[in-house]
Structure 1
Amino acid sequence: MTVHARGWGAAAAALVLLLSACGGGPDPDEFTGARLDQPYPAPTIELTDTEGAPYSLAEDTDKPMTVVFFGYTHCPDICPLVMNNIGAALNRLDDEEREQVDMVFVTTDPARDDAATLRDYLDGYGEGFIGLTGDLEDIVAAGDPLHLYVSDGKKLPSGGYDLGGHSTFVLGIDENDEAVVVWNQETSAPELATDIQILLGE
C-alpha cells in the first residue's frame, strides 16, 4: 500500500468517526435485510392460532407484509431480543403502515407453549401478534420450505422435549405467499422498521 493510500484511508476513518460523533450514520433509506432472489414459498401446513383456529402461512398471510419468527416462550436470550426488536420496529410505523403488516410467532416448543401461554407472551411485545402452535412434526415441516431449522428435539419422560435449537432468522412474507427477505438476529428495530417501510413502498 502507498503512503498516499494509507493517508486516504486514515482520512476516511477519521471522517467516519466525525460523522458518528455528530450523530451521522447509515443512510435511512439503506436496506439492511437480505433480499431473496429466489423467494421461499410459504408452507401450506395448517398450524393452530391462539384462538384455536387453523392458520397457514401460505393461505392466511394476506397483508402486504407478514413478519415471521420461530421461537419459544422459555427461550432465555435470543428470542426476547428478537421479539423486542420486532415490537419496537412495528411501533415505529405509522397507523397506515402498521395496518399492512402482520406479525406471526411460531412456537418451536409446543409441549409447553399452549394457546394461553403464547397469548400472554405475545401481548407483552405488541398488539395483534399472531401465535401459532401445533404438533412438533408439523412445526418442523413448516420451517423446512422457509429454510428455518427447527429441532425435533428429544422426548423427555415428562412428555416434553429437550430442544436442540432453532434458527433465529426473521422472515418477511409478502402478499404473494413468498418469503422475500431475511433478517438476522442482530437487525435493530430502526433497521427493521426502515426495511419494512421500503418494502411497503415498492
Structure 2
Amino acid sequence: MRDRLRATLALVVVGLLAAACSTGGGDKGFTGTRLETPYQAADIALTDTSGLPFSLVEDTDKPLTLVFFGYTHCPDFCPLVLNNIAAGINMLDDDESAKVDVVLVTTDPTRDDEKAMRAYLDGYNKSFIGLTGDLDTVIEVGEPLHVYVNDGKKLPSGGYDLGGHSTFTLGLDDSAEAVALWNQETSAKEFAADIRTLLTDD
C-alpha cells in the first residue's frame, strides 16, 4: 500500500512538473505535453539489439524519436504503452511513419540483453530500437531526460520497475531535444494525432 501511494504521489509530481514546463498556450487537439524548455539528451552510448553502440544524440537523425524507459518483463505499463505506440504508428501514412523512430531503453539490463530485447520488440514493430547497457549508464542516460530510473522499485535482477515514477514517453526532435511527452494513458489515436502535429511543425 505504501509503495502504491509513493508511486501515485511521484506520478502527480511528474505531472505537475510537465504542466509547469508546457507551453500551455492553447495547443488544442494536442494530447501530450509540449515542453517550453526542452530536455537535451546526453551523448552517451548504450548498445542496440545488433550489438552496436547507439546514442540518443548521434544516432537519432529522424525528425521525431519516441523514447520510453521500461523492461521486457514488465507486467503492466510497458506493454500498454508500447502497444499504443505501435498501433499509433500503424495509423500513420508510410511517409509519416518513415520519419519516426521508437526507442525502448531497458531499466532491467541484467535480463534484457540484445537478443531478449529484439524478440520482445519484434512483437510490437520490427523497426523499434532496443537499447541496453550497464545499469549505471542507463541511469545516466535517463537523468537529463528527467527519467529517474534509480527512483523506481528495485527488481530482484538489480534493475528497476519505474511503476508510477517515470512511465512517460518522450518525443525527441532531430536535435535530440525532448520537446514533448505523453503519459501512460495516451491512446494509439492520440499518439498518431500528436505525431502528425509534431511532424508538421516548423
Say whether the fold is shared (TM-score over 0.5): yes
Contact 2:107 2:149 in 1 (8 A): yes
Q: Deviations over 1:129-162 (max 9, x none)?
A: 0000000000001000000120277586xxx316
Q: How many residues align?
A: 171
Q: Deviations over 1:38-86 (max 9, x none)?
A: 0000121110000010000011110000010000000001111001000
Contact 2:109 2:159 in 1 (8 A): no
Instruction: Normalising by structure 1, report the TM-score.
Output: 0.81
Instruction: Normalising by structure 2, report the TM-score.
Output: 0.81
Partner residue of 2:160? 163
- State the AA in 2 paired with 1:61: T
Please report how far the alpha carbon of residue 164 of structure 1 lies from its aligned counterpart in structure 2 after TM superposition. 5.1
- Structure 2 unaligned residues grouped into runs of 5+: 1-27
Partner residue of 1:39? 38
Higher alpha-carbon Rg: 1
Q: Secondary structure of the equivalent of 1:185?
A: coil
Q: For 1:53 and 1:72, how far apart are their aligned partners in 2?
A: 19
Partner residue of 2:78? 79
Contact 1:151 1:164 in 2 (8 A): no
Q: Deviations over 1:169-193 (max 9, x none)?
A: 0000000110000100011110010
Partner residue of 1:9? none
Q: For 1:61 and 1:163, how far apart are their aligned partners in 2?
A: 25
Q: For 2:161 and 2:85, how far apart are their aligned partners in 1?
A: 24
Q: For 2:160 and 2:171, how far apart are their aligned partners in 1?
A: 25
Q: Secondary structure of the equivalent of 1:37?
A: strand
Q: Secondary structure of the equivalent of 1:144?
A: helix
Mapping for residues 34-73 of structure 1, pairs under 5 Å: 34-73=33-72
Partner residue of 1:118? 117
Partner residue of 2:196? 197
- State the AA in 1 paired with 2:194: D
Partner residue of 1:173? 172
With 75-84 and 147-156 compared, the bigger mean Cα shift is at 147-156
Displaced runs of 4 or more, over 3 A: 152-156
Partner residue of 1:109? 108
Percent identical residues: 60
Contact 2:135 2:159 in 1 (8 A): no
- Structure 1 unaligned residues grouped into runs of 5+: 1-28
The RMSD of aligned alpha carbons is 1.6
